[in-house]
Copies of this chain bind each other. A is one copy, B any other.
Amino acid sequence: MAVDDERHVEIVNALDNSHFHGLVCCDPTSVLLLTGFWPVLGTSVVIFAGDGNVAVIVPEDEVEIADVSTSARIIPYKPSQLQSLECPIRALSAPIRLAIASLSLSGKTLGVEFRQTMQPASYASAAHFHASLVDLLGGLCLSLKLVSCDPILEPLKAKKTKKEISLMQWAADIAADGFIEANRCITVGMRETEVAAAAQSVFDTSLKAEGLERSYGFFYCMSGPNSAKAAAAYARTRQRTIRRGDLVMIHANTCADGYWTDITRTYTAGEPTERQDAIRIAITKARAEALNAIRPGVAASDVDRAARSVMTKHGFGAAFRHATGHGVGFAAANANGLPRIHPESPDVLAEGMTFNIEPAAYFDGYGGMRHCDVVAVNSNGATVLTDY
Once the chains bind, are B336 and A87 in contact (CB under 8 Å)? yes
Once the chains bind, are A132 and B114 in contact (CB under 8 Å)? yes
Q: Does A141 reach chain B (CB closer than 8 Å)? A: no
Q: Does A2 reach chain B (CB closer than 8 Å)? A: no
Once the chains bind, are B191 and A205 in contact (CB under 8 Å)? yes
CA distance A23 to B353 in the complex (A): 41
CA distance A246 to B154 in the complex (A): 46
Known A116-B130, A126-B121, A336-B87; judge A201-B205 contact (CB<8 A): no
Choose from B59, B198, B233 the contact partner of A59 (Cβ within 8 Å).
Answer: B233
Residue of B nearest to A233 (CB): B61
Q: Does A17 reach chain B (CB closer than 8 Å)? A: no
Q: Does A196 reach chain B (CB closer than 8 Å)? A: yes
Known A83-B344, A205-B191, A321-B82; judge A114-B135 contact (CB<8 A): yes
CA distance A196 to B205 in the complex (A): 9
Which of A93-101, A102-110, A207-215, A367-375 lies on the face that meets chain B?
A: A207-215
Tell me which residues across on chain B come within 8 A of A116, comparing CB atoms: 87-89, 127-130, 132
Q: Does A257 reach chain B (CB closer than 8 Å)? A: no
Tell me which residues across on chain B come within 8 A of A345, comparing CB atoms: 85
Residue of B nearest to A343 (CB): B82
Once the chains bind, are A120 and B125 in contact (CB under 8 Å)? yes
Choose from B82, B117, B130, B134 the contact partner of A322 (Cβ within 8 Å).
Answer: B82
Q: Does A123 reach chain B (CB closer than 8 Å)? A: yes
Once the chains bind, are A119 and B114 in contact (CB under 8 Å)? no
CB distance from A236 to the nearest CB of B (A): 7
Once the chains bind, are A205 and B232 in contact (CB under 8 Å)? no
Q: Does A222 reach chain B (CB closer than 8 Å)? A: no
CB distance from A190 to the nearest CB of B (A): 10
Once the chains bind, are A344 and B129 in contact (CB under 8 Å)? no
Tell me which residues across on chain B come within 8 A of A27, comparing CB atoms: 128
Tally of contact residues, A, Cβ under 8 A: 76
CA distance A132 to B134 in the complex (A): 12
Q: Does A115 reach chain B (CB closer than 8 Å)? A: yes
Copies of this chain assembled into the complex: 2
Residue of B nearest to A347 (CB): B85
Contacts of A217-239 to chain B: CB distance below 8 A:
217-218, 229, 232-234, 236, 239
Which of A3-11, A282-290, A327-335, A377-385 lies on the face that meets chain B?
A: A327-335
CA distance A82 to B210 in the complex (A): 41
CB distance from A368 to the nearest CB of B (A): 13
Contacts of A46-95 to chain B: CB distance below 8 A:
59, 61-62, 64, 79-80, 82-85, 87-89
Choose from B85, B128, B234 the contact partner of A342 (Cβ within 8 Å).
Answer: B85
Known A85-B345, A335-B80; judge A200-B204 contact (CB<8 A): yes
CB distance from A123 to the nearest CB of B (A): 5
Q: Does A131 reach chain B (CB closer than 8 Å)? A: yes
19 residue pairs A–B, Cβ–Cβ below 8 Å: A27-B128, A61-B233, A62-B234, A80-B233, A80-B323, A80-B335, A82-B343, A89-B115, A114-B135, A116-B132, A118-B128, A119-B127, A125-B253, A130-B130, A130-B131, A131-B134, A197-B204, A200-B204, A201-B201
Q: Which residues of A contact B (CB under 8 A)?
A: 27, 40-41, 59, 61-62, 64, 79-80, 82-85, 87-89, 113-121, 123-132, 134-135, 191, 193-194, 196-198, 200-201, 204-205, 207, 209-210, 214, 217-218, 229, 232-234, 236, 239, 253, 260, 321-323, 331-336, 340, 342-346
**Given A119-B125, A125-B253, A193-B209; 7 other pairs, CB 8 A cutoff:** A41-B234, A83-B344, A87-B115, A115-B130, A121-B121, A125-B333, A210-B239
